[in-house]
Amino acid sequence: MIKTGQTPRLTVVVPCYNEEPMLPTSARVLRDLMQQLMMRRQITVDSKILFVDDGSRDQTWALIEQLQHHDAVFTGLKFSRNYGQEAALMAGMQAAQQFSDLIITIDADLQDDPQLIPQMIEQARAGSDIVYGVRNDRSTDTWFKRSTAQGFYWIMRKLSVNLVPNHSDFRLMSRRAVSALMQYHEAKPFIRGIIPQLGFPTTKLFYKRQPRQAGTSKYPLRKMIHFALDGLLSFSTAPIRAVLYAGIGICGTTLIMLLWILVQHMRGVVVTGWSSIMLSVWFLGGFQLVAISIIGEYVGRIFTETKHRPRFIIQMDTYSAAFTQTTSLTTPIRFENQSTR
């Protein structure tokens, strides 16, 4: 959300990992777009494109340096090594938030349609704090990628993690939404899961995703599985609960087994020792699962506590604004953090 009548300063954050073949084209497209937006006064003339070099091993950083030498719209951040796309996005947004009214994140390969950016800005002017770019057509993805993605969204929904299906990391956020995001201090933030938790007025814009034009995907299967597991485990302690229920179920079954074992024992159709061994196996198995899950529950609580997620996020604060000269929109949003207890 931005003040009506005010031209927003935009920063486009672009994570880059070994994007040497793609970067010159992407930089040109993005620069042209920024120039158009500046001419139409949709963004300020000091808006920036921020490339975050995620420890590339090719000439990506040299290219970024060259670009910023030629045009002041380009800027860069360079990681000391590869930390992953999520870290690159967080770093870019963190750097951008203090200087920008609006922040857009987009992949360096421009598979996501940059021509959606003007509409995103319009939506922000109309009052949205978060504008999601959502793919309405995944026909360019392989069958495997499509179906694993669908399975992932299904599981996450079952675990009541609220994701925006078919949205990757192409989105616009207002400054206050980004500063709310920065209150999530976990080491491995699953950004796509956190953003819907932030609240604020949001909109979705739809587009068709293009195939990658140069370079290769930086997400081989191994990295995709890691990403999915990170998302699942960082948002849910449901697997621990599942173990607890399994343990209780097995303990319950032990009672039925007890009857069955007694009957067999009475009928005398069993070898010596069978009854006691059967009973111990069932009872101990169930009991151990319950015991493990109890430890798990404590570990799970430590896990959620150590994340220091904000307890709440304030969208408007007219109280503090009443005591300051500035309006409520420019008043920094206050957060209460679990660590300040």
In the complex, minimum distance from the CB of residue 85 to Mg ion, in angstroms, rounded to a whole number: 10
Contacting range for ligand UDP; rule: CB under 6 A; set: 28-36, 69-77, 213-221, 318-326: 213-221
Angle between helices 117-125 and 23-39 (to 10 degrees): 40
Task: Pick from 111, 166, 174, 331 the residue near Mg ion by CB under 5 A.
Answer: 111
Using the CB atoms, write b or e for 115-141: b if 16+ within 10 Å: ebbebbbebbbeebbbbbbbbeeeeeb
Three-class secondary structure of residue 3 per DSSP: coil
107 touching ligand UDP, by CB under 6 A: yes
Buried b / exposed e along 231-254 (16+ C-beta atoms within 10 A): bbebbbbeebeebbeebeebbeeb
In this complex, which beta carbon is closest to ligand UDP, that of residue 148 or of residue 253?
Answer: 148
Whole-angstrom distance, CA of residue 221 vs CA of residue 337: 36
Q: How far is residue 31 CA from its own chain's centroid?
A: 27
Q: What's the order of all strands across the beta sheet hosting 10-16?
A: 74-78, 48-53, 10-16, 102-105, 167-174, 130-137, 202-208
For Mg ion, the closer CB: 17 or 184: 17
Given ligand UDP, Mg ion, none, residue 86, with its beta carbon under 5 to 8 Å by kind, binds none
Q: Tell me the window of 25-33, 109-117, 126-134, 333-341 that interacts with Mg ion (CB under 5 A).
A: 109-117
Give how many residues touch ligand UDP by CB under 6 A: 16
Rounded Cα gap, residues 8 and 125, in angstroms: 9
Selection from ligand UDP, Mg ion, none that 15 binds (CB < 5 to 8 A by kind) is ligand UDP
By a kind-dependent CB cut-off of 5 to 8 A, residue 82 interacts, out of ligand UDP, Mg ion, none, with ligand UDP
The item of ligand UDP, Mg ion, none sharing an interface with residue 306, based on CB under 5 to 8 Å by kind, is none
CB of 114 to ligand UDP, least distance (A): 13
245 binds, among Mg ion, ligand UDP, none (CB under 5 to 8 A by kind): none
Site for ligand UDP, residues 171 to 210, rule: CB under 6 A:
none
Tokens of 220: 């081989």
Structure tokens at 192: 């796509």
Lookup result for tokens 């069978």 = 274
Residue 111 CA to residue 103 CA, distance in Å, equals: 18
170 binds ligand UDP (CB under 6 A): no
For 23, other C-beta atoms within 10 Å of its C-beta total 26
88: partner contacted, choices ligand UDP, Mg ion, none (Cβ within 5-8 A by kind): ligand UDP
Q: Which residues bind ligand UDP (CB under 6 A)?
A: 15-17, 19, 54, 82, 84-85, 88, 107-109, 111, 217-219
Binding site for Mg ion (CB under 5 A): 107, 109, 111
